[in-house]
Amino acid sequence: METSAVFKTSHPPLPSPDGLHVASITSKRLHIRSTTSLDVFRSIALPTDEDTKIAALRWSRTTQSQPWSYRILVADGDNVRVWDLRDPKWTATINNGSGGMGKVISADFGATMDELLVISDFCSKVVVWSLVSGRSVEIKDPKYSSNRAYSLRSAGEGSPSIMALLARPGSQDVLTLHAPRSYKVLKSIPLTTHDAQAMKWSPNGRWLAVWDSPSVGFRVSIHTADGNLYRVYVGEGGERQELGLGARSLEWSPRCDYLAVGGHDRRIIMLSARTFSAAVFLEHTTSIQIPDSQVWQEDASTSSKRTYAVVPQPVSLPFLPAKSVDSTNKFGISILAFNVDGSLLATKDESAPTAVWIWDLTTLTSRTILLQHSPIKKITWHPTRSDLLLIQCQHDDPVIYLWSAAMDAPMALSVPFERPFTKIEVNWLPTSHDRKPGLIASNNSSLVFLWPDGRDPPPEEGDSDDTPESDQSFDSVIEMLAGRTPLPDHTDATMYDETTNVTEEYTTAAFEDTFRGKRPPRVI
């Protein structure tokens, strides 16, 4: 393993989505560091108020037509500031005014680098700002004061980036769909949920999953891209099943062939993305006896060196009994992580918090189980390599773990931080498949770069630009929402012209139902 020098930081560093830069904050300055040379090529002064706390640090999103992250924002309770790496003189500041509607607690870029989504405290509103015109659109009553409240649809270049928003304007959950760029309300859908927890678009943008509170049992609603309710999955027993805790986690497969639902019963339900009925159940058993699966156990007998050894089967896992009925966080599938091509799934069951299960989705069986010395904190696949998994555990020792199908055994890596040790955070550096993998680790005062297989040589001058070509695939979701009649062009409406500010209210438009004349939604 190759490591860099240790650099100072006072905030967790953030790699850019294109993998070219890392942002960090030190001594009231924002540093933009190159991941190639590791040099700081831009240092930006931040407010010197000692009471100012960073609420968000975000890079602009990448797209097929814009594969580079040029802009970065830093938000605190009173201001959101944005800078552009291409122009040192360009900056934008959004002030929260008197803060009468609460402090800024969340901020992020919208579908493009010219849009900001700012959420205030107390679930009062989401404000969408245009960095082109300086205009804004207010969307009232988001259900959550975080990015749980919204989800941006992305289905390839040329497709509209519709925003779905979970709202609670009254006693009922409401799903609203908002037009690209103008954020006008395209459709408002009252939900049948008791207490919607979150929602996720499928990677291809065809489906939107909304899951209900686990206290009402299994209830996952599947909506089409235009908001129509398509299916409601209520568990294998249907509506008459015995009442129990429902879904705790949910994740779409990158290939869009499965929707994985993690329950509180130590099972993962793999829903077919064609019928949204259960295709297979993945069981986290108390005893492991799987002929084609390997079980690796960490040996942490010495703090200086950690190794793995294969454990003969059958193996009994150290399960934790639930202390009370209310301790829902102590059991259930808390982590679902697909690899980049959707062939592998890594999971954690809170009842056995030291075990990482790796499932082979081509055979729908367990491939490997890793038994750690400490409970699992985080599981992350490499963004481009399908067989490389990062594992972080809940201990203060600066040690991280890697698993790969190509390795003879899992690997423990020591991060070169000085004592006293504090909890560390580790993230992959986004790199292409032909580059060696890299990591960035940080604690409360330092950051360091790690290359498990060594560092790539610096690129030669004159290397070609790998900018992807635009995919001009057609997407008809706007026409679907408007009864197959294209909506008026809102590109230059409200946010991008010189008209007055617009506040969008929750309204229900009389759109033609895409599934009119078809069967009503079926509960399965």
What pLDDT is attached to residue 275? 93
Structure-block tokens of residue 188: 């408002």
When pLDDT is cut at 50, 70 and 90, the band that residue 161 belongs to is confident
Residue owning tokens 């830069």: 21
Which residues face 359 on adjacent strands?
345, 366
- Give the angle subtended at the CA of 189 by the CAs of 158 and 136, to the nearest 5°: 60
Maximum average pLDDT range among 367-376, 449-458, 508-517: 367-376
Residue 522 confidence (pLDDT): 42
Mean pLDDT of all residues in 94-116:
85
Residue 150, pLDDT > 70, answer: yes
CA torsion 192-196-202-203 (nearest 10°) is 160
Residue 307 has pLDDT above 70, yes or no: yes
Contact between residue 388 and residue 431 where contact means Cβ atoms under 8 Å apart: no
Give the whole-number percent of the chain exceeding pLDDT 70. Answer: 81
Q: For residue 492, what pLDDT band results from cuts at 50, 70 and 90?
A: very low
pLDDT at residue 476, rounded to an integer: 54
Strand partners, 165: 150, 176
Give yes or no for residue 469 having a pLDDT over 90.
no
Q: What is the average pLDDT value for the chain, to the nearest integer? A: 83
DSSP line for 182-228: T--EEEEEE---SS--EEEE-TTSSEEEEE--GGG-S-EEEEETTS-
State how far the Cα of 351 lies from the Cα of 349, in Å rounded to an integer. Answer: 5
Two tokens, residue 250: 């949910």
d(CA 128, CA 125): 10
- Give one DSSP letter per residue of 382-404, joined into a string: -SS-TTEEEEEESSSSSEEEEEE
Q: How many CB atoms lie within 10 A of CB 340?
A: 16
| Residue 512 pLDDT greater than 50, yes or no | no
Give me the residue label for tokens 């089409």: 224
Bigger pLDDT: 284 vs 463? 284
Does the pLDDT at position 246 exceed 90? no
Pull the structure tokens for residue 396.
């203060």
Residue 505 has pLDDT above 70, yes or no: no
Task: Select the more confidently predicted residue: 360 or 158.
Answer: 360
Lowest mean pLDDT among 43-57, 118-132, 386-400, 499-513: 499-513
| Domain definitions of the chain by residue range | 285-444
Segment 469-497 shows an average pLDDT of 46
Query: What percentage of the chain reaches a pLDDT higher than 90?
Result: 59
- CATH 3.40.50 correct for 285-444: no
Q: Give the max Cα distance, the chain.
A: 71
Q: Which of the residue ranges 121-135, 259-273, 458-472 would you say has the lowest mean pLDDT?
A: 458-472
Q: Encode pLDDT of 259-284 as tens digits.
A: 999 999 899 999 999 999 999 999 99
496 or 433: whose pLDDT is higher?
A: 433
Q: Which phi-psi region, left, alpha or beta, contains residue 265 (left: φ > 0; alpha: ψ -120 to 50)?
A: alpha
pLDDT in tens, 406-436: 999 999 999 999 877 778 999 999 998 889 9
Distances (CA, A) of 242 to 217, 237, 238: 9, 8, 9
